[in-house]
């Protein structure tokens, strides 16, 4: 047996063993060593996952911390919180793909973030050969990268030490609302036609739209309150405000993003509120 053939054979055996280990262990990294890889994981899960989706969370890195699959006991849920992006990009990608969720959660904290190079890089990456190859070969997907798995596990362990007494917080009566009273300095806001167009597109597909304000560590009232009032008035969407009651009770990894224990708590609150 020639050496090159032995090397190829051993490599295939190792790849097969690695694939089986991932399959049996059910390892699903929650974070990645770079924003781009983390976004690849979520976009590939959308594009190459099941067609039937119960709940889809869309937004930025703020919502990327949530465990979408824990939002429902039935069906598949997706987290399309993309680092450096916002809900406009990921929600449109989802609906345009033909995968229509029962519930679309739209994070509002970063809704005014303009389309930039990050979104263009993501869109171009979805057309790349590697991305398309990932449809047929699981090992090519971002979630299968050994460095990504190791990074995710180590970060989860580090974040677990930021736990607080969240069990004492009463959240059972929190539900999505059909009204919203802006607090603080929530005067006239800039128009947000991208959000309005997204809501219209979703409602035309009979998708339940829930606007989400997520805790972000900023000790000020949500500054786009008048936008929320307008969207509820014009389109009868629902609003789920997690920032006002919980923001000062959470722990954060960097003063802005929820730690893993706090993200798990907010996930549980949202799941209870949606009743899915």
User: What are the pLDDT digits (tens) for 154-165?
Assistant: 777 777 666 666
Q: How far apart are CA 125 and CA 37, in angstroms?
A: 11
Q: The whole model's pTM is what?
A: 0.83
Q: How far apart are CA 54 and CA 276, in angstroms?
A: 9
Mean pLDDT of the chain: 81
Please tell me the least confidently modeled range out of 55-59, 86-90, 153-157, 249-253: 153-157
> Which is more confident, 139 or 249?
249
Local structure of residue 115 (DSSP, 8 states): P
Q: Looking at residue 134, what is its pLDDT?
A: 67
Q: List b or e across 42-64, with b for residues whose CB sees 16 or more CB atoms inside 10 angstroms.
A: bbbbbbeeeeebbbbbbbbbbbb
Q: Looking at residue 80, what is its pLDDT?
A: 95
Q: Where are the domains of the chain?
A: 29-274
Local structure of residue 75 (DSSP, 8 states): S
Residue 254 confidence (pLDDT) above 80: yes
Question: Alpha-carbon torsion 257, 215, 41, 43, what sign?
Answer: negative
- CATH architecture of the domain formed by 29-274: 3-Layer(aba) Sandwich (3.40)
Residue 11 confidence (pLDDT) above 60: no
> Which is more confident, 85 or 28?
85
Per-residue CA distances from 42 to 25, 82, 90, 156 (Å): 20, 8, 10, 18
As a whole-number percent, the residues of the chain with pLDDT over 90 amount to: 37
As a whole-number percent, the residues of the chain with pLDDT over 70 amount to: 75
pLDDT band at 168 (very low <50, low <70, confident <90, very high): low
CB proximity list for 159: less than 8 A, separation 6 or greater: 253, 259, 260, 261
Strands of the sheet with 76-81, listed across from one edge:
76-81, 53-59, 101-107, 208-213, 238-241
**For 222-241, how does the pLDDT look when each residue is reduced to its tens digit (9 = 90+)?**
888 889 989 999 999 999 99
């Amino acid at each position: 047996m020639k050496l090159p053939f032995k090397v190829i054979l051993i490599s295939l055996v190792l790849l097969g063993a690695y694939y089986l280990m991932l399959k049996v262990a059910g390892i699903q990294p929650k974070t990645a060593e770079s924003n781009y890889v983390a976004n690849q994981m979520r976009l590939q899960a959308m594009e190459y996952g099941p067609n039937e989706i119960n709940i889809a969370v869309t937004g930025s890195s703020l919502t990327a911390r949530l465990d979408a699959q824990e939002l429902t006991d039935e069906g598949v849920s997706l987290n399309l919180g993309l680092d450096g992006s916002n809900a406009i990009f990921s929600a449109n990608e989802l609906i345009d793909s033909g995968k229509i969720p029962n519930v679309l959660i739209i994070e509002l904290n970063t809704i005014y973030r303009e389309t930039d190079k990050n979104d263009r890089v993501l869109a171009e990456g979805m057309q790349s050969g590697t991305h398309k190859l990932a449809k047929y070969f699981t090992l090519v997907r971002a979630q299968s990268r050994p460095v990504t798995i190791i990074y995710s596990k180590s970060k989860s362990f580090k974040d677990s030490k930021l736990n607080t007494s969240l069990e004492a917080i009463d959240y059972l009566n929190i539900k999505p609302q059909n009204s919203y009273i802006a607090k603080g300095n929530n005067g006239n806001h800039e128009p947000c036609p991208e959000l309005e167009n997204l809501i219209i597109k979703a409602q035309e597909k009979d998708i339940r739209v829930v606007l989400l304000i997520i805790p972000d560590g900023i000790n000020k009232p949500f500054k786009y309150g008048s936008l929320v009032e307008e969207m509820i008035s014009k389109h009868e969407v629902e609003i789920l405000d997690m920032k006002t009651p919980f923001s000062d009770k959470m722990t954060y990894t960097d003063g802005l993003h929820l730690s893993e224990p706090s993200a798990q708590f907010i996930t549980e609150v949202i799941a209870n509120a949606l009743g899915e």
